[in-house]
Amino acid sequence: MTHMISSFTQKLIPLNIEHLTPDTRAILDSDDLGMPIAIMIAAEGPFINVSDFLNLVPDMNEVPSDLAQVVEFCDNNGIDWIKLSENGHFIDELPRYDAEGKEIGNVK
């Protein structure tokens, strides 16, 4: 059986962790969202499988709103994986948060 390589590829976006509030970052760091979700914690930061996340969390009101916004943005833009780190990209359409959890810039 022959497969096109495109059938095996998935899109990953390296996203800056500042798109999440410090409270949400702490939850991800502790791996304590209180539900099974598709987040893998790695040394360089969390990885989120978008489709698994959406399948396991049918009610996005059950997760922090900033995390829901990031996942929904990526889903709407055909992204399969999110890699969150301090070196990731800033996305103009997503809010950024300072160390106190206040929104800073990049809000459209």
How high is the pLDDT of residue 29? 76
Domain boundaries defined on the chain = 10-92
Q: What is the pLDDT of residues 53-100, one digit of tens each?
A: 888 887 889 889 999 999 999 999 999 999 999 999 999 999 999 999
Query: CB within 8 A of 12, min separation 6: which ones?
Result: 79, 80, 81, 82, 83
How high is the pLDDT of residue 91? 94
Q: Name the band, by pLDDT with cuts 50, 70 and 90, for residue 2.
A: low
CA dist., res. 25 & res. 67, Å (int): 9
Q: What is the pLDDT of residues 17-54, one digit of tens each?
A: 999 999 998 888 776 666 555 666 666 778 888 988 88
Amino acid at residue number 50: V
CA dist., res. 19 & res. 64, Å (int): 12
Whether pTM > 0.85 for this model: the answer is: no
How high is the pLDDT of residue 40? 62
CA dist., res. 54 & res. 39, Å (int): 11
Please say if the pLDDT value at position 106 is more than 60: no
How high is the pLDDT of residue 10? 86
